[in-house]
Amino acid sequence: MEKMFIYNQMLRQRIFRFFASPGRSKEKPRRFERARCPAQAEAVRHEIILAVRYGLRLVRLAGASERLFVGLPGLARYNISRTKGISLVAVVIVMLIVSTLALLMASFMSSGNISAITDMQAEQALYIASAGMECYLELLEADSDWSTPPTVFTNQIFGAGTFTITYANQTADSIDITSTGKVIGWDGNSVQRVIVQHVTKEAGAGTAFSDFAIFYGGGDGTIESEIKKEQTITGDIFVKGNLDIGKNCTITGNVSATGSITVGSGTNISGSTTPNATQPANQPTLTTTYYDSLITTASGQPAGNRTFEAEAISGTVYINGNVTIKDYINGSGTIVATGSVDIKSNVDIGSNITIISDGSLLMRINGTVGKSVFFYSSSDIELKAGIVLGSGAGSGEGVVLLSPGDIKLGDNTTLTGFIFGDDVEIGENLTLTGNLGGNRLDTLDEGAVIIKNNAKVNYGSINGFNSNAAITITTSLWQETL
């Protein structure tokens, strides 16, 4: 700007001296000057043309074009007024450039906004997929057998989108889970993210009912359970309610109850005795849907009772009536009856037999029951005196007595396995290797020998039975897929 100012000043002075020289004719100054010194006039004219062609742009932008040429009539023939047209063209060009830049900026801003929105929705879809995965892991944690996984979610609404769960490669203790999170995009198209995890579980992360020799955690806690005299119990004991332990018992383990605990003379408890205790493990639950369905199928058969005597069975035999069993049955099969089951005295029930009844299940005296036998009654189960069940059973081969009703064992019963009922009453001289469980223990009569062993029965394989044991779920191989 400083150089332009000096140049303008010099140009003004030269033009002024040229037109204001002494003795010049006022009427015809240009002709006189050109006639007197044509070379000088031509030089000045050339400088003026250069100023018009080059300097005018700079001077005009500085707002000085009109001031420079005011009072210079000698420049009229160069038509300085044409600069107004040049200015208009320049303004139009500048406006075009500015408009183009504005359009480009608007386009960039619009593209940036769209990209930001799409990225945000993609993040939302990922979070929704993760939420769906966590939701299904909660269901798996409450399921004892993943070979038949919990019901999956399909387009489950969550927040701004939905998630869908699928699974594959399921076994009892492992499964692959796929969770798809989906959000509807700004343009109506869906944005989705898909994650996959391999999940395994381990039981026994916390205390379970099966960690006890005797565990009765149901009911309202108002019952008083009685363990009579001269018991030998190896394993922990818990009852919900009050507990009365007779004299001369030997208990190797801890004893706890939510109510009071009374201990008879001569009784020795190696571990702690804790009255008014917090329940140490979850109470198992029994859902009868599986058994009800089989009984319903049996009710569709022709009505009639049936007697099995010295007979081998296989598959599932449905009886719409009562069942009587004499002498023995063996093979590998299931009997389902809509009525009661009466197993006569001295009957031998072979291994791998399942008996399911809607009515009472009664086994009379001096019978024997093989390994991997399962008794279920919708009503109640009663075993008379002198019955031996599951003798020699190895891991997972114990006998299971299961009922939503009451269970009563007679004197001198020997059992390798597991009992679970509503109210349980046990006669004298029980010999048990396994677990006693249920909602309430009424009476454990004198002389029992109980050894806790939670390996004799696979609790997770019992249909409808949920041990509610705390488990550890481990996730691995997290990945995002298309």
Residue-level pLDDT at 138? 84
Class of domain 117-205+473-481: alpha beta
Choice between 357 and 92, residue whose per-residue pLDDT is larger: 357
- Please state, in angstroms and as integers, the Cα–Cα distance from residue 335 to each residue in 88, 291, 380, 415, 443, following that order: 105, 12, 17, 22, 31
Find the range with the poorest average confidence among 94-98, 217-221, 270-274.
94-98
Residue-range domain boundaries for the chain: 2-78, 117-205+473-481, 284-466
Tokens of 138: 């909660």
Gap between the Cα atoms of 432 and 416, Å rounded: 6
Mean pLDDT along residues 454-463: 91
Which residue bears the tokens 């018992």?
249
In total, the chain counts a number of residues equal to 482
**Three-class SS state of 408:** strand
Query: What whole-number distance in Å separates Cα of residue 166 and Cα of residue 251?
Result: 49
Residue 349 has pLDDT above 80, yes or no: yes
Task: Record the tokens describing residue 264, joined without a space.
Answer: 């008879």
Q: Max Cα separation, the chain?
A: 160
What is this structure's pTM? Answer: 0.62
> Which of 11-15, 199-203, 458-462 is predicted with the least confidence, judged by mean pLDDT?
11-15
Query: How large is the average pLDDT for residues 73-101?
Result: 61
Per the model's pLDDT, the better-predicted residue between 434 and 40 turns out to be: 434
CB of 434 closer than 8 Å to CB of 210: no
Tell me the average pLDDT across 149-177: 89
Helix (H, G, I), strand (E, B), or coil: what is residue 252? Answer: strand
